[in-house]
């Protein structure tokens, strides 16, 4: 699930920390993107890994990704700065 704004795209994510492999795991039935990271949820390490992984997946610099909510939860909202239409198209191409 995502929301477009003039400054970029805000996406809702479900994150699994301490996974064997990091990566995009697809979409949940409600449209939420599912990601897995290898870092533990300690001292923000899983959040940092998620932001780096999302940036790499979308082809944007890590500084373009900012955690909006869900710092201590598996359900997160992340704002990605950039062209919202291009970012939405990239996400759609990755998770049909």
- Tell me the per-residue pLDDT of 60-95, one tens digit each, with 9 for 90 and over: 999 999 999 999 999 999 999 999 999 989 988 987
Kindly give, in sequence order, each residue whose CB lies less than 8 Å from that of residue 64, ignoring residues fewer than 6 positions away.
8, 55, 80, 81, 82
Task: For residues 84 and 86, give the distance between their C-alpha atoms in angstroms, rounded to a whole number.
Answer: 6
Task: For residues 48 and 54, give the distance between their C-alpha atoms in angstroms, rounded to a whole number.
Answer: 10
What's the confidence (pLDDT) of residue 34? 95
For domain 2-87, give the CATH number: 3.30.1200.10
Please report, for the chain, the start and end positions of each structural domain, with discontinuous segments joined by +.
Answer: 2-87
């Amino acid at each position: 699930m995502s929301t477009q704004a003039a400054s970029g795209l805000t996406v809702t994510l479900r994150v699994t920390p301490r996974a064997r492999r990091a990566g995009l795991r697809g979409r949940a039935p409600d449209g939420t993107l599912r990601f897995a990271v290898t870092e533990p949820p300690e001292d923000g390490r899983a959040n940092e890994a998620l932001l780096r992984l999302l940036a790499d997946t979308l082809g944007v610099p890590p500084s373009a990704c900012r955690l909006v909510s869900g710092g201590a939860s598996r359900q997160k909202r992340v704002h990605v700065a950039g062209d919202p239409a291009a970012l939405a198209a990239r996400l759609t191409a990755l998770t049909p």
